[in-house]
Amino acid sequence: MAIAFIFCLFLARFFYVQVIWKDDLNARALDQWTREIPIAAGRGNIYDANGELLAGNTPAYTVYARANAVADAEGEAETLSAALGLSYEETLEKLTDGSRSEIVLVRRTDKTAVQSIEGLDLAGVYYSRDDARFYPHGALACQVLGFTSYDGAGASGLEQFYNGYLAGKRGEILFETDLVGVDLEGATAAYIPGTDGMDVTLTLDYRIQTIAEEVMARAYETYSAKAARAIVMDVTDFSVLAMVNLPSYDLNDIPRNDLAALNALSRNGLVSDVYEPGSTFKIVTAAANIEEYLRGNATAYAPNRIFSSARTRTVDGTTIRCWSDHANGKHSNQTLAEALNNSCNPCFVDLALALGKETFYDYLDAFGFGRATGLDFSGEAIGMLLPESTLRDCDFARIGFGQSIAVTPLQLACASAAAVNGGYFYAPRLVAKITSAEGAVLAETSPMLVKRTVSEEASALLTSMLEGVVRDGSGKKAYIEGYRVAGKTGTAQKYENGHIAQGKYVSSFVGCFPANSPKYLALVIVDEPQGAYYGSTVAAPCAKEIFEGMIELLGLHPVEE
């Protein structure tokens, strides 16, 4: 019985080694008797919506050494250090380091360097093609595109988010060797080809991106701002046409040795950072009120209803003031359209309180606040929205005009687009399609409707009011004759350690055109401008310049009244 049991154990072990463990043992044997020279897969290109190359590759080579196969370490170290621009001592140390089977001498050197050692028959030294990433437009859209790590993998931005498509699968050249890694005489090499990565085409238009970057660069310098940002979107499907974050950096000269600077400069603040939007948020409050009025909600304000002309509102013992002193009849006899023109905070306190927390929070949810928009990009913040159950009335009143709430610029742009496009909230997107190197379309994105926000009637009424803001109100510096721009300015104070930071503001403007059938939207944000700081003075002219650039670029004709 015992003999039979032992026989069964041996049989089970034999089965495990021969069948279960076979592949692993074969791999170990192959590793012992071969050396592998990796063949880097060609990383996929990134193109803009017009086919313009934004991220590509330049030929480069990586040189390896196998110390056990090196015949003359000192002589080869002298030759290699001179040819590759390396330290002789460090090269010699690598060539004599028998603790590792293979050592990288230099990564991504140019063809000239490789040609200088080619044909010298340096024992134990090999090279393979390992292309370097190249960005033809330098700093353009750098936070959106992102960059790759030393080993060629996506490290940030779209390079990281779509790395699985872009990276491809590397190949190998296998050489037979003895146990110490010396090539066997007469042995032939086995070639395992790599698979190139896929190409990614964006919704981004590099021409519009260039226009927006040039405009925001002027604002950044003119006002000595902390940062200057802009988003340009197609409101009909939420495809992103441009994303600007300044300051920026050159993707071909990445400050890898200064991680703090690199993290700051490579961060896409439009997606990852939050701020109090201020008066630009009044678009959402007005949209909710108009929709409720059209639905027959008796507490909502009719468009022609007159607000109290008092400068202040007191809620929970907290006094909320208008930016204007209301002297000499200023802001008196205001309708909703005029309250938007004048950006009068107390009027939007009235609107929020009239709608009530439950109803207003339903609209905040519909407009996408408190959650990610779903953009195909890593690190999206969800903003800060106080829980309805713990919300004090004084805080709720402030949300009505864009305080006591923090949003990402992307959230505000999407919400504004959904307010003026007929009430349709789509998932924003940066990538249009993914193709093979041969041009076959492997995946294609389509507009994805997430929610309805307001009715088309409410949206049209709101947009006509926002057109009045640009024509007659605080947004006059965004007005373009014949192109019917609609929009809203914002000037928000900044807070530090729970207190208002004196002299620190966020100036903003969000606008769209043509107002009679919105197509393009721009959100402009200038953080901590020096000197002038009102959104009407700082941000609105930037939006006008961006729109004018797009009009000329796209050959858009004036809108007939």
Domains present along the chain, CATH in parentheses: 28-134+168-198 (3.90.1310.10), 206-248+268-554 (3.40.710.10)
Nearest to 70 by CA among 87, 92, 88, 86: 92
Give the pLDDT confidence of 119-141 residue by residue, as tens digits.
Answer: 787 887 877 777 889 999 999 99
Q: Is the pLDDT confidence value at 364 over 60?
A: yes
Cis peptide before 247 (omega within 30 of 0): yes
Distance CA 461, CA 322 (A): 25
Closest CA to 468 of 482, 487, 453, 483: 487
What are the backbone dihedrals phi and psi of residue 367, each rounded to the nearest 5 degrees, phi first?
-85, 5
Range 443-450 average pLDDT: 95
pLDDT tens digits for range 73-87: 888 888 888 888 888
Place of tokens 């009719």: 302
Nearest to 116 by CA among 152, 86, 96, 90: 86
Nearby residues of 264 by Cβ (< 8 Å), 6 or more positions away? none
pTM of the model as a whole: 0.87
Residue 282's SS3 state is helix
DSSP-assigned letters across all residues of 69-111: G-S-HHHHHHHHHHHHT--HHHHHHHHT-TTSS-EEEEEEE-H
Is the distance from CB of 467 to CB of 515 less than 8 angstroms?
yes
Give yes or no for a cis peptide into 514 (omega within 30° of 0): yes
CA distances 297 to 3, 128, 281, 300, 545, Å, are 90, 72, 22, 6, 40
> How many angstroms separate the CA atoms of 463 and 465, rounded?
5
- Residue with the bigger pLDDT between 193 and 375: it is 375
Tell me the average pLDDT of the chain.
Answer: 89
Instruction: Tell me whether residue 99 is one of the annotated catalytic residues.
Output: no
Does residue 425 contact residue 453 with C-beta atoms inside 8 Å?
yes
In the sheet with 34-39, reading across from the earlier edge strand, the strands are 34-39, 171-176, 190-192
Angle at 367 between CA 484 and CA 538, to 5 degrees: 45
User: Per the structure block, which two tokens stand in for 369?
Assistant: 């606040």
Provide the token pair at 355: 């709608």
Contact yes or no for 237/417 (Cβ under 8 A)? no
What band does 501 get if pLDDT is binned at 50, 70 and 90?
confident
- For residue 119 the two structure tokens come to 């044909």
Among 389, 54, 422, 361, CA closest to 210: 54
The predicted structure's pLDDT at residue 353: 97
Tokens of 129: 């093609």
pLDDT digits (tens, 9 = 90+) for 241-280: 999 999 999 999 999 999 999 999 999 999 999 999 999 9
pLDDT band at 184 (very low <50, low <70, confident <90, very high): very low
Among 156, 279, 404, 508, which one carries the catalytic annotation? 279
